[in-house]
Amino acid sequence: MYYEINANILPQIRLVDTAVLEPPYVHRRRQPDEYILYIMKQGVLYLREEEKEYELREGDVLLLDTDFVHEGLKASGCEYFYIHFRHPQIYRREVQPGFMENLLQIRGTCLQQDSGSHKRYRDDVLWLPKHVSLGRKGGYLRVLQLIQEAMEQHRNQMENYKVACECRFMEALVAISREALSSWTARPTHGIPSSYHRVHELLNYLNENYHRQISGAGIEEEFSCNFDYLNRVFKKNIGKTIFACLNEIRIHRAMELLATTSMKISAVGYRVGFKDDGYFCKVFKKYTGISPGQYGALAGVREIECEDGNGNLQ
């Protein structure tokens, strides 16, 4: 089971805090009128929702539903975050065949998007699992950090504190969703080839390190794998070679800088990873059809055309 959430709308948080349970206390029986997200910090919490029993431990995340009754099964010691919230567009779904593969396809496409564009690809729907174990990895620690920040914002009660709290919580939901998908793909029983993970890891590596010098030998060392093999797998999944994709990422970043800064063309090329001005111009024209100078001039014209009568950009 999972939940679809309209990610364009922030959840409405009523409570966010930590709970510490000690025996002989047993979690009480109730049917909430709002969704409740539990994020386990330590210990064990024995819980049942309808007919489903859960043994929640550190790293576990569980979303309690407004349509179901939940209750504790036995006394135990534990600590967890709880977030009570409502959302106007949250829908319970059953996982259908091919669902996770579709999410992987979305992830792969997002990793190839131009981050400098106003366009958004499939960002309107957030997938949130009913129950997932995040383990003790960096993603889980990031979720804890975001919830702690949400709790601090909720407590300070300065202007817009609810919005600040809800933004942190939404970011935590995105992190949970990402970690859940990554954990699912890592299970050998699901038949996702290891090469598929390598391709996504490599795309992420290129997006994070495009401004540095990247070589085939460096990629081999980073991923402990033969470059020619990686390149073949990459092209089979993405439709282009590793360095063609790297150049595309670099040109997208260069277009952002040319359109939004007054940097010299040589400085732009250097900033995005091209150490040779001539090669940068050659690659830029190959991908855009015009030179960097022409692109920067056209971008400046577009900005001027958007100014109001007082010279301010609209």
Residues 251-283 have pLDDT tens digits of: 999 998 998 888 899 999 999 999 999 999 999
Cis status, amide bond into 292, omega within 30 of 0: no
Q: What is the pLDDT of residue 190?
A: 54
Rounded Cα distance, 57 and 40, in Å: 6
Q: What's the one-letter identity of residue 26? A: V
Amino acid at 310: N
How far is it, in rounded angstroms, from Cα 255 to Cα 252? 5
pLDDT at res. 121: 61
Mean pLDDT over 180-199 rounds to: 70
Give the chain's largest Cα–Cα span.
74
Instruction: Locate CATH 1.10.10.60 in the chain.
Output: 194-301
Least confident of 149-153, 236-240, 274-278, 303-307: 303-307
Burial of 28 (0-12, 13-18, 19+ CB in 10 A): exposed
Q: What tens digit of pLDDT does each residue of 104-135 get?
A: 777 777 777 776 666 666 668 899 999 999 87
The answer, yes or no, to whether residue 86 has pLDDT greater than 50, is: yes
User: Is CATH 2.60.120.280 what the domain over 1-190 is classified as, yes or no?
Assistant: yes
Q: Of 7-21, 38-52, 185-199, 258-272, where does mean pLDDT reach its minimum?
A: 185-199
Rounded to the nearest angstrom, the gap between the alpha carbon of residue 56 and the centroid of all alpha carbons in its chain is 24
305 against 44, higher pLDDT: 44
Query: Contact, 282 vs 220, CB < 8 A?
Result: no
pLDDT of amino acid 137? 74
pLDDT in tens, 289-298: 999 999 988 8
| Cα(133)–Cα(215) distance, integer angstroms | 36
- pLDDT-derived band at 189 (thresholds 50, 70, 90) equals low
All CATH 2.60.120.280 domain ranges of the chain, comma separated, are 1-190
CA 72 from centre of chain: 32
Q: For domain 194-301, give the CATH superfamily.
A: Homeodomain-like (1.10.10.60)
Q: Model-level pTM? A: 0.74
The percent helix, strand, coil of the chain (3-state, each to 5) is 45, 20, 30
pLDDT at 211 over 60: yes
> Where does the pLDDT of residue 311 fall: very low under 50, low under 70, confident under 90, or very high at 90 and above?
very low
The token pair at 168 is 């942190």
CA–CA dist 219, 201 (Å, integer)? 11
pLDDT given at position 308 = 42
